[in-house]
Structure 1
């Protein structure tokens, strides 16, 4: 629980910071997100999976955890202390301006990535923290020391402390945003705030690594906590060495892993399709970085509070209705709220009287409905989707667990986001803008939800069968 608290405390700060940096950067905006997720994030994730597969073959799981986590913390410390203070020298604005003068306006988003390349790297490292440290390393470790019966009882509660972290980290981001307003003239406010934010990330990461080391020493060696005979058998088992291509072939032969990947890819595509449109509205409402960051801090705290409630409900849902129904809650939530957000954008003139009656504007109403959509989607993900996904790995053999998990989490997650991004890019080039593409995005969201439901039902049958065989 403490490890998950630290990991999500850091991730919330990183997630809020990456958006503020990239979206409010010079000559940038929300439209860069589809490009960065496709052309920077996805290749990085694929490269990491190849490296991770090699690390798994050469190191034990404990050292793999350290080898993957420490470089992240070093980068975030370096970014705040060395890279950001020198962006005037490092970012090639004049060079990109010269190129931009010879290219159509449609190239402004990819050029913004080149123009603000260090922010783009930070964005990808923050995204990778979510998929590598949270999904792959933490849950992989949790699955190693937990039985299915324990998982059903404790996985929904694992996140209780973690979502208190969302509330704390959201308010910390807001506090840092407000502190910037009181700085003396001539001091770079973002330079100061980044040191505070990244200092908190590194400190939290250090506490997480200390907790992991303590558990390795005191918990995994305790026969009352972990079955030593089973653990020894797992460690003695010869690992099958496979390259990335062989791993992909091995996984694609398994309908079980394929359905798991469909769940992760569907979530990534659905959330990306709605989120980018929402962030475009958010930048219109809050063009100032301080105001944007402050809003995101409150948003993260609200996500944590709602998720805490969902966690309590999640435990009851697992116990009363089982894995299948729990797995269908998240696609239902995203489908209903996502289509509601798009309806508000498509039929905006119809909602003008409603906005006026509420004492706000259609733009702010869209921002708030989009925020509610995002909060409900993320809370159902943390409380139900993630525990469902992790439970599904438990009946698998060790090789499918480690390499299957690496492929599903580290490639599947960015592939989902990149798939959503490619759809948006195609629509932007086809119809001119995200705003005009909204009806098409709503239709695509509906199709994705259908396939998500289909894969979840298929996986539920296989999971129940695998549990009976154990």
Structure 2
């Protein structure tokens, strides 16, 4: 830390702690992350608008999708990624996975969405709605609009596989701890700027009028086609930048070349024992206390945000039943979240350097507890209090609930994308290469899904008992406090181990440097030959 402080002082330590020779590696990665996060923000808002505002649907469909569609999809995607990583190098895996996503998005907007009335089984779904209890309406809606359910799963996997596993895994492989403390803060700013751009683009797209001369039978379908086309274009540009980076920079980068050697050794072992490749990923979590702490943090975050988010979107669905209006409101929150995240991300490098990893990682759980408590307090106020407070602002209680829920949703994600991701990814860096590869794949590919699926199972059980999401809100709030406490404990314990890893690495570098200096000083004195004989 002292070396970095000596090289960067004042504003540069906060805003741009980058050396000139690092720019050929940093700038392409920065642009790649910007484009991937831009696509993620576009797809995240689209999937919610498509699924929640569909026929006979609502926010109650989300818990069922996340358990019965997302969890199997995450396991299959993780298995597919593990197989590809054991057979091919990083560059080819990157191209194959992104190309698969793009092929599906094109298929959806030009085939599946236009044919939804033919493909969706509305008749049998209506029979199930009449026969099953009210708590099963979400499951029926998932079945009724199955093409939209599949679209939701694929869009969610973009964030899980492309952003988390591919890009951040790649970033971990080509950076060291000393670089990551400076690079990751800059990367976080890029991701937040992408959210701002995606939010404004989404709001503009939702406000466009219907043009009969363009493809699409409605303004909403034309908006969908335009946004997906933009996602395809930016993804192709991402692959082109990654190709340039691989050819012109990474082939000369020592950290990347060392990782490639380690990857070939690991891949050779996996080829001998192919059936153990996925099981080994989960075995690392059970054998490593360090990885278990990271898993608890990831599961807790996804559980907490899922518990609150579903109830918020249930209120928003009542306020904005039209898909364009719903999508526009979510894009407004995305843009606002990007602005807040950018301001916070500017300070993350300074915060990590001055206050440490543990303090920075605790910002996320504490801020989520505070904002969630405010949302639930307003949601559970007596009805006459809600009407009175809403009257002071010349609005309705439903609109006030959407405002408070939007604020909670916005702040939670702003902290997540500015602080949580950076600190979580830094926690993987001190691990050995094999543990980093398989442990990260298990935590990011499946651990996050377990958190979301766990929250969804809780919502499903409460729906069976109470019938509606709003009736189960008090019990959701109580569980949220319990999980937040476990999250905070895991961060504090992981922080102690991370600091010990970092100190050991600094000590090893100091020892290597001192031994190298001694060799240079001793080398001219080792020969006992006369000068003439040496010549």
| TM-score normalised over the length of structure 2 | 0.84
How big is each residue's C-alpha offset from its partner over 1:195-249, in whole Å with a ceiling of 9 and x where there is no partner?
10110110111111111111111110234xx447634542453444224334312
| Change in CA separation of 1:387 and 1:91 when aligned onto 2, cut-off 3 Å | same
**Mapped partners of 2:382, 2:405: distance in 1:** 13
**Mapped partners of 1:221, 1:385: distance in 2:** 31
**Mapped partners of 2:483, 2:318: distance in 1:** 28
Which stretch shows the higher mean deviation, 427-436 or 397-406? 427-436
Contact 2:175–2:255 (CA under 8 A) maintained in structure 1: no
**Mapped partners of 2:397, 2:211: distance in 1:** 32
How big is each residue's C-alpha offset from its partner over 1:368-401, in whole Å with a ceiling of 9 and x where there is no partner?
1111111111111111110111111111111111
How big is each residue's C-alpha offset from its partner over 1:154-199, in whole Å with a ceiling of 9 and x where there is no partner?
2022122222221111111111111146769993223211110110
Q: Tell me the secondary structure at the aligned position of residue 250 of structure 2.
A: coil
**Mapped partners of 1:104, 1:289: distance in 2:** 27
Q: 1:437: Cα distance to partner?
A: 1.2
**Mapped partners of 2:212, 2:492: distance in 1:** 55
Q: Is 2:256 the counterpart of 1:221?
A: no
**Mapped partners of 2:122, 2:296: distance in 1:** 40
How big is each residue's C-alpha offset from its partner over 1:16-66, in whole Å with a ceiling of 9 and x where there is no partner?
110110000000000000010011000110111122222121111221222
Q: Is 2:487 the counterpart of 1:459?
A: no
Structure 2: segments with no counterpart, 5+ residues? 1-29, 271-275, 506-535
**Mapped partners of 2:217, 2:225: distance in 1:** 13
Equivalenced residue count is: 468
Q: Is 2:278 the counterpart of 1:278?
A: no
| Counterpart residue number, 2:459 | 424
Contact 1:33–1:276 (CA under 8 A) maintained in structure 2: yes
Superposed, 1:318-397 pairs within 5 Å as 318-349=352-383, 350-397=385-432
Out of 213, 221, 227, the position equivalent to 1:197 is: 227
Q: 1:74: Cα distance to partner?
A: 1.0
Superposed, 1:244-255 pairs within 5 Å as 244-255=278-289
| Counterpart residue number, 1:443 | 478
Contact 1:5–1:159 (CA under 8 A) maintained in structure 2: no
**Mapped partners of 2:382, 2:329: distance in 1:** 23
Structure 1: segments with no counterpart, 5+ residues? none
**Mapped partners of 1:154, 1:232: distance in 2:** 21
**Mapped partners of 1:178, 1:160: distance in 2:** 28
| Counterpart residue number, 1:313 | 347
**Mapped partners of 1:346, 1:397: distance in 2:** 48
**Mapped partners of 2:131, 2:476: distance in 1:** 31
**Mapped partners of 2:472, 2:263: distance in 1:** 52
How big is each residue's C-alpha offset from its partner over 1:231-283, in whole Å with a ceiling of 9 and x where there is no partner?
45424534442243343123211111111111111010000001001001101
How big is each residue's C-alpha offset from its partner over 1:323-350, in whole Å with a ceiling of 9 and x where there is no partner?
0001100000111101110111111533
| Change in CA separation of 1:302 and 1:229 when aligned onto 2, cut-off 3 Å | closer
Which stretch shows the higher mean deviation, 229-238 or 109-118? 229-238
Superposed, 1:25-44 pairs within 5 Å as 25-44=54-73
Q: Tell me the secondary structure at the aligned position of residue 9 of structure 1.
A: helix
Q: Is 2:124 the counterpart of 1:89?
A: no
**Mapped partners of 1:113, 1:255: distance in 2:** 38
How big is each residue's C-alpha offset from its partner over 1:102-160, in whole Å with a ceiling of 9 and x where there is no partner?
33333221111111000000000011101111110000011111111111112022122
Which stretch shows the higher mean deviation, 358-367 or 173-182? 173-182
**Mapped partners of 1:30, 1:125: distance in 2:** 18
Contact 2:250–2:257 (CA under 8 A) maintained in structure 1: no
Superposed, 1:53-202 pairs within 5 Å as 53-180=82-209, 187-202=217-232
| Change in CA separation of 1:195 and 1:357 when aligned onto 2, cut-off 3 Å | same
